Structure 1
Amino acid sequence: MPVLSSTRRSPTDGAAVWLWPGRALYAGPSLRLGPHSGAVACLAVGVDAPFTVQPAAGGGARARTALIAPRVRHRLTAYGDRMVFLYLDPGSADDRACRTRFRGGEETVLTGHRHEEDLLGGAAELSSRTPLPRVASWVARATGHAGTRHAEPRIMAATRRLLDADRPLPAAPLAAELGLSQSRFLRLFRDGTGTSYRRFRLWAQMHRAARALAAGHNLTRAAAEGHFASPSHLSTAFHAMFGLTPSALLSQDLTIICLDPTPRALT
């Protein structure tokens, strides 16, 4: 799992973000967000104390671990200093497997991970200095997804092209480049990555923007590197995806760690 780029924005451990194409992990101070929603599923872990999740539709739950479904507007109130958030592409193998790990709650907010004590212990150790195999092991324990399926070489090549492309890549020319019809390419892509080409391309754009930020560039450069029209376009897309703005993260003492896709990460 090679690191594509990583930088320390502060001499303290502060907060850390690990980003793969298809998932993201945050460990650090609770972000004190107001009511919000994102396009991805969010596994929330109260590292040192419980938290409450209150969906806008009503109800609520107090928990140490909860899985919040995509597009569920909610307020999360943390009673401790640190939280871990694992963001998963909706409908991915990670997301589907993670849902089976919870014991209770409603469909939109599941609570009580079956391995909660293990997750809490591991979450307390997550920082920018945590060895990457230990981070990956924690994610695998959280999702319950072993990642045994492997994408075929042409699809792995396509994911690499998306991450490294210097311009937006529509599906048709990339399919032709790989000697596939567009329909065949799109089917193979979903089979190999667990998500649609459009969704993966957005993750790849975020990945490119994060790599620029990790290298010390500003949001203007990050937006350009990620093929966003402007910094505001990047901020809007990021907010729609994760339910918070890039500036909310960058206001922390943040370390950004961008990771190369692997068959385990893709399935």
Structure 2
Amino acid sequence: MSDHECPDAGRLMLISPERVFYAGLLGRPRRRSIGGFSVYVALQGQLRLTIEGQALQAGAMAFVPPYLTHNVESDCRSVIALVIEPESVLTGPMVALGARIGGVGSAALADRVRLAYQTLVATGRREGFTTSEFDNLFFGETLPARRIDRRIACAIARLNDVSGAAVTAEDCAAAANLSQSRFLHLFKDETGVSFRALRAWKRARHLLHFVNADINLAHLAQDIGYPDSTHFSHSIRRFYGLQPRAIFSGSRDLAIWRSDPHSASIAEFRQGRP
């Protein structure tokens, strides 16, 4: 199948602290290791997925657990990708969803995701959606939410803040009235991942809010919490398999719809930046 035969209803991303839906260019990524549960859907034809250490998978859909290094290719230049943040859902139902995607129900679920995408573009719905609405639209059910200790939930909320404010384990531990070692232990128990690993992923995830903006990348790196451009480029390439400049180049006509219409405004985010 040639690229021009693939449907392209419009490049679109929905983003909230717990979910991402993306329909747009796949690019030519090298190995990537997304920090959430990843669901890939071919717009037409098939995907080819390789998870490091596993056999090649091919089909209309693919499922990858968090932080697993993988590579995905598509018959089309564009692809649909959904990301579910692991601290927001129970692991068991996500394992079941992965089995469903890899089993006999994959074709129907792929059609549902494609139809949801086409409907969003056709109706022109803009911003403002809940996690439950997102799940029901794409999966036909609300994915069971994970209950997180309120002290850890507060720390996660700080990590989800797109403002780029520095977030340290020491500060979060103090806010939770815990020793740092106890906080770090509880954090991993509650989320399934270390504080440092989740902070690195959330920082890279913040980039998604700004990929269609005309913005200086060196300034953006500092604004979302990177110490310098080298760390920024390395982190983005590790998580997404692409250099930041390549991501921005392929996202110029990407529409971004947010769960909170007032979040991540470029004007507000960069207020005071010379």
Deviation at 1:198, TM superposition (A): 1.7
The match for 1:172 is: 170
2:243 equivalent to 1:245: yes
Q: Distance in 2 between matches of 1:207 and 1:91?
A: 14
Q: Distance in 2 between matches of 1:58 and 1:201?
A: 27
2:44 equivalent to 1:48: yes
1 or 2, which has the higher strand percentage? 1
The match for 1:160 is: 157
Measured against aligned partners, the alpha-carbon deviations of 1:100-140 in whole angstroms (never above 9, x if no partner) come to 23448xxxxx7347354134223333257456344343455
Letter in 2 for 1:154: R
SS at match of 1:101: helix
Deviates more, 1:233-242 or 1:121-130: 121-130
Matched-pair identity in %: 22
The match for 1:124 is: 115
- How is 1:85-96 mapped onto 2 (pairs within 5 angstroms)? 85-88=81-84, 93=89
Evaluate the alpha carbon distance shift between residue 47 and residue 247 of structure 1 in structure 2; reply closer, same or farther with a 3 A threshold: same
2:215 equivalent to 1:217: yes
The match for 2:263 is: none
SS at match of 2:172: helix
Contact 1:44 1:66 in 2 (8 A): yes
Evaluate the alpha carbon distance shift between residue 115 and residue 34 of structure 1 in structure 2; reply closer, same or farther with a 3 A threshold: closer
Q: Distance in 2 between matches of 1:247 and 1:207?
A: 15
Deviation at 1:64, TM superposition (A): 0.5
Deviation at 1:65, TM superposition (A): 0.9
Deviates more, 1:53-62 or 1:64-73: 53-62
Contact 2:45 2:75 in 1 (8 A): yes
The unaligned stretches of length 5 or more in structure 2 are: 1-7, 261-274
Measured against aligned partners, the alpha-carbon deviations of 1:215-256 in whole angstroms (never above 9, x if no partner) come to 653322221111112334222211211223333332232233
Q: Distance in 2 between matches of 1:154 and 1:90?
A: 17
Deviation at 1:22, TM superposition (A): 6.0
Choose from 138, 147, 151 the match for 1:150: 147
The match for 1:38 is: 33
The match for 2:200 is: 202
Q: Distance in 2 between matches of 1:20 and 1:155?
A: 19
Contact 2:148 2:190 in 1 (8 A): yes
SS at match of 1:53: strand
The match for 1:256 is: 256
Evaluate the alpha carbon distance shift between residue 93 and residue 161 of structure 1 in structure 2; reply closer, same or farther with a 3 A threshold: closer
Q: Distance in 1 between matches of 2:30 and 2:205?
A: 26
Letter in 2 for 1:99: V
The unaligned stretches of length 5 or more in structure 1 are: 1-11, 105-109, 261-267
The match for 2:134 is: 135
Evaluate the alpha carbon distance shift between residue 198 and residue 259 of structure 1 in structure 2; reply closer, same or farther with a 3 A threshold: farther
Q: RMSD across aligned C-alpha pairs, in angstroms?
A: 3.7
Q: Distance in 1 between matches of 2:191 and 2:52?
A: 32
Deviation at 1:182, TM superposition (A): 1.9
Deviates more, 1:251-260 or 1:240-249: 251-260
2:19 equivalent to 1:28: no
Q: Distance in 2 between matches of 1:68 and 1:166?
A: 28
Contact 1:52 1:62 in 2 (8 A): yes
Deviation at 1:172, TM superposition (A): 1.7
Deviation at 1:203, TM superposition (A): 3.4
Deviation at 1:18, TM superposition (A): 3.5
Q: Distance in 1 between matches of 2:188 and 2:139?
A: 21
